[in-house]
Amino acid sequence: MKTRLLSFVTLFFLAISAMAQEGMWLLNQIDQLNLKDAGLEISTTQIYSPGNPAISNAVVQLGGGTASFVSPEGLLLTNHHVAYTALQRASDVQSNYLTDGFLAREKSKEIKAPGYEARILVEMKDVTDIIFKAVKGIDDLEERDRKINEISEEMTKEIEDKTSDADARVVAMYNGKQYILFVYKVLKDIRIVYSPPLSIGNYGGEIDNWMWPRHTGDFSFLRAYVTPDGTGSEYNEENVPYKPEIWLKVAQKPIEPGDLTFVVGFPGSTTRYRTSNSAAWNLIENYPFSIDNFSSIIALAEELTMDDPDGQLKVANLTKGLANAKKNYQGKVDGMIKTKYVERKIKFEQEFTTWVNSTPETKKKYGHILGQIQEQYKVIKKTKDRDNILGMFQGLSGTRTDAAFYAFLIATEREKPEDERMPGFSPRLIDNLANGLQYTYNDYYEPFDKAMLVRTLKQVQKLPAGQRIESLDYILNQSDESIEFFVDEAYKNSKLDNLEYVVALFDKSSEELKALNDPILNMMSNLYLYIEENREMNNSFGTIVIDLRKQYIDALYEWKGSTLYPDANSTIRFTYGPVKGYTPQDAVWYEPITTLKGVVEKNTGIMPFNAPEKLIKLYETRNFGQWADPELKDVPIAFLHRCDITGGNSGSPVMNARGEVIGVCFDGNYEAMISDWQYDYEIQRTISVDIRYVLFITEKFADAGFILKEMGVN
């Protein structure tokens, strides 16, 4: 097994150069890329060097995105939209940091970023041999998965038990062909230093989101704190700024079209090795349902908070996230249709099948793959309408429903034999759920919460025959009025609006939960059997299909012999490419750099194009300081470059050929929204805020030159 794995990895590396600039590469692959030929002026060991300080040590996973250390005092630079949730949680109507921005002029004035943690990569170790040895001889896929989870938990627990601020995770690459252990140091005390107002940090709003040209100052500064001995811990007044081994320096020279850029960050997920079945499922079923669902929830939130500033603040984080996902999914749908993506996948698979059938050996090994994957999608299609609704009861039906779901999840799993529990169920998971609820309840807005549950129950009522959730018939009674009456009465008689009460439920058995006779807990009790059945079906689907996808990758490699970088999975990655514009359609060329002039041209004084008066004044008086581009004679705002990124890369530092910071990733272009499915060399671009705009806003607009001084900027 070891020899086979080494041969596989070696062959991967031999062909890496054939895929220049495509791919989100693992850090241990980058010395196999032709980076010197691309213009890199530093060694790859300065980017990643196990056991030694390198650029990768300055890059952290933060709040669903990425950030980087830019000072010796733990100062972090990330996106405004990565810091958005922290700003929202720290705000109230009197102190709306989301709208107005926030600046701490001294460390003692920095405020908590509630719920935020920074993860710094400490170790990255291939543990494939250990995993494969443990599952040798196990043919049953579900048993095999349980054994992999068991071995992984043993490895990670051993590390986490030794160090209080360690987080260890075993992550599958190539759908289980390779397993890597990632060990992180976790910093749990993150504070907000400076964030510009929404009219800069989210200039253009959803209209400009995913679009070019962009004029958004999408950045924020935070700071990481630790105990005096350097241990990551929760917020404490005695904590001190974290001292990173290495921090990134600001570029000394302006960028120009054609210059090399590279990005280190934590991309979320891609699906580039999926078959046409997965692509068609998402195009026809998943994306359209999600787009309609998110649109409806956003409209409901806007309607219910129209005249309530406090309500608007409470729902802001949810609606922004849904709006972003909605536009992303719509872009994927548009891109798939425009490029005939599914049809091209099918044609590719026809060619693949011809190759498979070309010899008895390949037919025996791979002839079953596509057919068996198709059969699995037929299974989940049978109950897709019901399963969509069951998913909504686990996150999009209100805070009280979420609390009831968590209570039954914990009770039910605890009552099972250990070897039958869901993967990852542990006291730590329960603690994480309990801790996370404080932020969920921080956003609790009862009119919206009730409306979300009413909305979901009305969708249950419309389910087709054969997919009905019959255990909820006692609520429905075939009329809308009965649903609204039930929800009104349930909210009057339920105690699930009390956070302390909810957390106490996590110690109760399922029978004790039922005995409380709480109407929302009773509803979840009636639902939970369906939710468990749905989870078991999805687990079975995932176990079988992931194994088939692994076999498919084996086949593709044997057929094509070209390098397959692993799909993104929230682990740290490297990507690179030049500053470059693009042609979105016939006779149109997009320049790669935007300037402050564009902010003024778009300004209407009405959200989302309501540029601050002070910013307009800085432009009109040409008060640019040292931040004007010598060629453009203006302050650059954003730039395009040919790097391969996806969600999770938000906030990633963009570096030049010398490893200096030139910007911060914040978006991709709409024309390439199917980039999670395929890479298009000609049209896919990363959109990043120029570091000069970051520094211009910080110094000239916020009068916070002390931040620049801390960063070593003269």
Catalytic positions, please?
A: 81, 218, 650
Q: What is the DSSP string of 292-345?
A: HHHHHHHHHHHHHTTT-HHHHHHHHHHHHHHHHHHHHHHHHHHHHHHHTHHHHH
Measured CA to CA, the distance from residue 153 to residue 6 in angstroms comes to 25
Q: How far is CA 623 from the centre of its chain?
A: 37
Measured CA to CA, the distance from residue 62 to residue 572 in angstroms comes to 12
Please give the structure tokens belonging to residue 500: 């302390």
Phi, psi of 25 (to 5 degrees): -85, 145
Q: What CA–CA distances, in Å, run from 9 to 152, 153, 169, 564, 701? A: 21, 25, 21, 10, 51
Burial 41-69 (b: 16+ CB within 10 A, else e): ebebebbbbeeeebbbbbbbbbbbbbbbb
Tokens 């957390």 belong to which residue? 503
Measured CA to CA, the distance from residue 314 to residue 91 in angstroms comes to 9
Measured CA to CA, the distance from residue 15 to residue 561 in angstroms comes to 8
Can you list the alpha helix ranges (DSSP code H) found in 163-272? 198-201, 205-208
Tokens 């990895």 belong to which residue? 9
Class of residue 586 by CB neighbours under 10 A (exposed 0-12, middle 13-18, buried 19+): exposed
Contact 268, 668 (CB under 8 A): no
Measured CA to CA, the distance from residue 19 to residue 644 in angstroms comes to 12
Measured CA to CA, the distance from residue 269 to residue 648 in angstroms comes to 8
Contact 297, 322 (CB under 8 A): yes
Q: CB-based contacts of 55: which residues, under 8 Å, 6+ apart?
A: 46, 47, 48, 246, 248, 264, 655, 659
Entry field: residues in the chain? 714
Please give the structure tokens belonging to residue 475: 């609520």
Class of residue 596 by CB neighbours under 10 A (exposed 0-12, middle 13-18, buried 19+): buried
Measured CA to CA, the distance from residue 375 to residue 385 in angstroms comes to 18
Measured CA to CA, the distance from residue 523 to residue 521 in angstroms comes to 5
Report the DSSP beta bridge partners of residue 582: 590
Count the neighbouring beta carbons within 10 Å of the beta carbon of residue 553.
18
Q: CB-based contacts of 10: which residues, under 8 Å, 6+ apart?
A: none
Region of residue 233 (phi > 0: left; psi between -120 and 50: alpha; otherwise: beta): beta
Q: CB-based contacts of 555: which residues, under 8 Å, 6+ apart?
A: 352, 356, 362, 365, 366, 369
Angle in degrees, 0-180, between the axes of helices 399-414 and 427-442, rounded to the nearest 10: 170
Class of residue 464 by CB neighbours under 10 A (exposed 0-12, middle 13-18, buried 19+): exposed
Contact 299, 323 (CB under 8 A): no
Q: How many CA atoms lie within 13 Å of 223's alpha carbon, on the beta-carbon side? A: 29
